[in-house]
Structure 1
Amino acid sequence: MTERDLELVSALQVAPRASWEDLSRVLGVHPTTLARRWARLVEAGLARVSIAPGPELLRMMDVAFVELTCQNDRVQEVAETLIPDERLMSIQFIAGSAHLLLTVAAAGRSLSSFLLTTIGSLDGVLHYAVRTVTSQIIDASLWHFRALPASKIRRLSQLHQEAGKAGEGTPAVMDAPNRALMRALGIDGRTSLRELAATAGISALAAARRVSRLIGGKYVSVRCDVARRGSGRSYSAILWGSMRPDRFPSTDILDRVPALRVMTSVTGTNNIHIVVWLNNPMDLLDVEQQLLDAIGGLTIEDRRIVLRTFKFNGAKLNEDGTIAQIIPMAY
C-alpha cells in the first residue's frame, strides 16, 4: 500500500460507512478518486469493510477460541476443510503446542454441535481445547493505522458516532430482514442502503432504520480489515494472561499500546486473550512490556506467533495474506 492508501484505510477504519463525500471533506481528496482508490484495494484483495458481532449479538451466540492439535501432515488439510464453515470467523496456523487456533461464533448456541459433530468427525484432528469468550474488553473495530492527524481522526469519529446515534438504546430483533442485512454487510460493509433494502426486501427507509439499530445498538461493529503484508503490521501474536475483572482496562489503553488489537475475557486457566499486531516477531517483548506497564495486575503466561492465517473475519485468505473469497458468517 502507498501512503495515500494507508490514509484511506485508516479513515475507513474509523468511519467505515462514511460517504465518499464526507470522507472527501476530511481527507481533501475528490470523492471519485477515493472511490476509485478503494475499488482498486478491494479488487487486489488488500482491504475490505465488513462486520463483526458486537456485545449485544455476542450475548445471543456461543463464541470461543478452539485450539486444534492435528496430525503433522494433515494440518493444512484440516484448515482448508473448515474454511467454508459459516460459524468460523478465523482459522490461524500458530507456533505452539497446538497447530490451529479457531475463532468460533456459533449462532443459536450451537458450539456443542460444532465441537461434537464438525470437529469430532474430522480426520486428522487429535485433540482440541476450548476457551469460551465471556466478555469483549477491547474490540478489533477500534484499532486503526494512525496514518492521519488527530484532528482528522476526531472528525471521522464524529461521523461514525452520528451514523449510529439514531439507533442507540433501541432493541433489534434477529428476524429475517435483519439477518439478510447482516449477511449483506458481512460481504461488503459499505453496501448502499438502496442495495441493502433490495436484498432484505424492505424499503430504503426501513433499511436505514434497521442498520442504524444494528450498529447503534451494538449488535454489530463495522470494521475495515486489511492484508497486513507490507503495511507495518505484518505479524500477529496471541497472548494468554490473567487479571482480576475489576482491573480490566478501558479503551484509552489503545493510546498507550498501539499494537493492541483485541482483548477478551475467556474461560480456562488464563482468563485473558490478547491479540497484538507486530511488524516483526522481535517486537513482541517490547509490546508485552507495554501491556504489563499499562495494565496493573496483568500477568502473561503464554504466547503464540501466528505463522499463517487461512481465514480472517469470514474471508478466505491467499497464502500471501490477500483476501481471496468472502464467506459471510451465519449470524
Structure 2
Amino acid sequence: MQEFGGALDDLDQALVHALQIAPRAGWARIGAALGVDPVTVARRWGRLTEAGAAWVSCHPGPVLAETGQGCLAFVEVDCANGRVPEVARALAAEPHVIAVEHVSGERDLLITLIAPRLAAVTRWVTHRLGALPGVVTARTHLASTVYTEGSRWRLRALDAAQIARLTESAPPRGDTSVFELTDLDHALFAELSVDGRIGHRALAERCGAGPDTVRRRVNRLLASGMAQPRCEVARPLSEWPVSLVLWGRSAPDGLRAVAQQVTGAREVRLCAGVIGRHNLKVIAWVRSLDDAQRFEVRLAERVPALTVVDRAVALWPVKLNGHLLDENGYRTGAVPIDARDAGRV
C-alpha cells in the first residue's frame, strides 16, 4: 500500500462523489461528468485505491432480508482484558461478518453479521462466537428494516449539473424482482465485494462462467437491488472522521415515520429497525467528538419522537463492508463476503 499524504484535493473529492453515484460507471462517463480526461480519472483512482484511501465494494442489499433470503444481525461483544485486538481480527476474518468496530461505551466490539436465515445466526453466535478465545459475553440484536445504508451516503463535492449528467447517463434500472440466488450468484457476490468495479471478463475467469452469462447475472443482481455497490473513502479524508453509533427508542407504531426523519439528516449512514432492548440503530459520521454531541442535539430537535438511550464512538473500524482497515481507517485488504458461511458451523 502506497503512502497517501495530506487530504483529498478537489478532483479526488469529485471523483469519489461521482463513484458514490455510479460505482461501476466507465471512466469515459465519469470523466465526461467531471470535465476531465478518462485517463486522468483512471490514474487518480488507481492512486487512491493503492493508498487505501478509497475503494468500491459491494454488499447484499436489504431486499434480500426483506424477501427471506438473508438475515442481518448486530452483535455486541465483550472481551477479556487485553484480548480485544485478537478477537477483532478473528471476527474480521469471517466471510459473513461484514463489519467489526472497537467502540467506546458498554461493549468492546460491535459486529454486523449476515446469514442465510435466523437459525444460522443462532448457530454461529452460540457455537462459533461463544467458543472464540477471548470472548466473554455477546448480545445479539436482529435487524428488522434497513431504512438507509452506506451506499446512499455522499461526499457532496459535485454540483447539481454534474450530478444530473451522471444520473441522466445511467443505464435504465429494470423492473427486476428478487430471485433465488444460485452458486454463481454467490461467487459473483464474493468477487464484487472485494472489488466492486471488477469487469465482466475478469469475473467470468474467476467464477468459471462465460462473459455474457456473467454480464446478465450481474446486471440482474444490480437491477433487483440484491447487490449494492458503493464507493467508500477513508474516514479521515472525508471531513467527517468520527463515527457515532446511537441506539434509540420510538413508539412502535411511529417507528417508520421516525426512521424517515432520521435518514434525512446528512450525517446518517445507517438507520435500521432493531428487535431488542432498543428499536432503532443509527450510525452517523460527524466532524469531531464535540460535533457528535451537537449532532445528537440537532437530531432531538429534528425527530422529537425519538429518544436516544445509548451511544458509542468507533475507536477502530477494523472492518467495513468486508474490507479490512488499519487504525486510521485506511483499507489494507478485504475478505470476500459470503452469507452462507454462517450456516457452516
Provide the TM-score with structure 2 as the length reference: 0.89
Does the alignment pair 1:53 with 2:60? yes
Counterpart residue identity of residue 7, structure 1: A
* Aligned counterpart, 2:206: 199
Partner Cα separation in structure 2 for residue 171 and residue 315 of structure 1 = 26
Q: Does 1:11 align with 2:18?
A: yes
> What residue is the counterpart of 1:217 in the other structure?
224
Change in 2 beyond 3 A, CA 1:262/1:157: farther
Pair 200,27 (structure 1): closer, same or farther in 2 beyond 3 Å: same
> 1:200-279 to 2 correspondence within 5 Å?
200-243=207-250, 244-250=254-260, 256-279=264-287
**Corresponding position of 1:70:** 79
Q: Does 1:321 align with 2:329?
A: yes
Per the alignment, residue 133 of structure 2 pairs with: 123
Shift of 1:246: 4.0
Work out the CA distance in 2 between the residues paired with 1:151 and 1:107: 41
Within 5 A, what are the aligned runs for 1:80-119? 80-109=89-118, 110-119=120-129
Q: Which residue of 2 aligns with 1:295?
A: 303
Could you say what secondary structure the match of 2:188 adopts? helix
Deviations 1:2-22 (A, max 9, x none): 221111011101110111111
Give the corresponding residue for 2:319: 311
* Compared CA separation, residues 295 and 213, structure 1 to 2 (3 A): farther
Deviation track 1:226-249 (CA, whole Å, cap 9, x = no partner) reads 111132011101000022234244
Task: Kindly state the Cα deviation for residue 293 of structure 1 after the two structures are TM-superposed.
Answer: 3.1
Q: Residue 155 of structure 1: which of 148, 157, 165 is its match? A: 165
User: Secondary structure of the equivalent of 2:83?
Assistant: helix
Shift of 1:75: 1.2
How far apart in 2 are the matches of 1:249 and 1:326? 31
What is the CA deviation profile of residues 299-318 of structure 1, one whole-angstrom value per residue up to 9, with x for unaligned ones? 21111011111111111111
Identify unmatched segments of 5+ residues in structure 2. Answer: 1-7, 340-345
Q: Which stretch shows the higher mean deviation, 206-215 or 82-91?
A: 206-215
Moved more, 306-315 or 207-216: 207-216
SS at match of 1:157: helix
The residue type paired with residue 118 of structure 1 is: R
Q: CA deviation at 1:193?
A: 1.7
**Could you tell me whether the CA contact under 8 Å between 1:137 and 1:248 is conserved in 2?**
no
Q: TM-score, normalised by structure 1?
A: 0.93
Answer yes or no: is the 8 Å Cα contact 2:323–2:331 preserved in 1.
yes
- Alpha carbons of 1:295 and 1:206: their partners in 2 closer, same or farther (altered >3 Å)? farther
Residue pair 2:24, 2:197 contacting (<8 A) in 1 also:
yes
1:107 deviation in Å?
3.0
Code of the residue aligned with 1:323 in structure 2: it is R
CA contact (8 A) 1:247 1:295 kept: no
Q: How many residues align?
A: 326
Q: Confirm or deny: 8 A CA contact 2:64 2:178 kept in the other structure.
A: no
The letter of the residue matching 2:332 is A
Distance 1:139 1:309 in 2: 16
Q: Which amino acid aligns with 1:60?
A: Q
Q: What is the DSSP-based 3-state SS (H/G/I as helix, E as strand, rest coil) of the residue aligned with 2:155? A: coil
Unaligned 5+ segments in structure 1 are none
1:48 alignment partner AA: W
What secondary structure, in the 3-state scheme, does the structure 1 residue paired with 2:204 have? helix
RMSD, matched Cα: 1.8
Tell me the CA shift for residue 119 of structure 1: 1.2
TM-superposition CA deviations, 1:89-125 (whole Å, max 9, x none) = 1111111011110111123541112111111112222
Q: Which deviations, in whole Å up to 9, do the C-alpha atoms of 1:48-70 show, x marking residues without a partner?
A: 11112212222422211111111
| 1:136–1:263 contact (8 Å) kept in structure 2 | yes
CA drift at 1:151: 2.3
Per the alignment, in what secondary structure is the counterpart of residue 290 of structure 1? helix
